[in-house]
Amino acid sequence: VFGGLDTLGAFLPTEARETGSTLHVLSLDVGEWTTKSFRGRGPGPNMRIYGETCTALKNGMVVALGHESEHVYVLDFERQLWMTPTLVGDKLKSRMFHAGAAFVEDGAVVLFGGQNRKTNDDFGDTFMLNLVKLDED
């Protein structure tokens, strides 16, 4: 489980709130939750990310957009490392509540739709992210 609003319905980290970039992992073998930390520069606590997509890959996941964010991050589980893909082509507009699907064999993630409450836009567009070159941060 990654990102989103905390139990108090807020973004800002306090003692009672999580940072919004904590990754929680459920072990299906023992039924226990653990918190994981990774190297690199992933989404930070001030990114105001919620309504993002977390799309599973073969050995990681892609975290895309969310609320006011135009950023895309890749988390490599094997190397325990956040990476930032180099995006080329059409610019992704910030959005939330969009859908994501992975084409693992092709190294691609497709993003569809969503909305931006700040600009009052509803999106019906589709973007394909080809994960060809990743920059290690």
DSSP the chain: -B-S--TTS--S--TTS--S--EEEEETTTTEEEEE--BS----TTS---S-EEEE-SSEEEEE--TT---EEEEETTTTEEEEE---SSPPPP-BS-EEEEEGGGTEEEEEEEEETTTTEEEEEEEEEE---EEE-
40-76 pLDDT tens trace: 888 766 565 677 888 888 888 888 877 777 888 899 9
Burial classification of residue 26, based on how many CB atoms lie within 10 Å of its CB (0-12 exposed, 13-18 middle, 19 or more buried):
exposed
Closest CA to 92 of 117, 75, 118, 69: 69
Res. 128: pLDDT tops 80: yes
Residue 110 is predicted with a pLDDT of 92
Residue 88 is predicted with a pLDDT of 82
DSSP annotation of 106: G
Residues 77 and 54: beta-carbon distance below 8 Å: no
60-116 pLDDT tens trace: 888 887 777 788 889 998 998 988 888 888 888 888 889 999 987 777 899 999 998
Residues 20 and 50: beta-carbon distance below 8 Å: yes
53-56/32-36 β-pairing: unpaired
Mean pLDDT of 17-39: 79
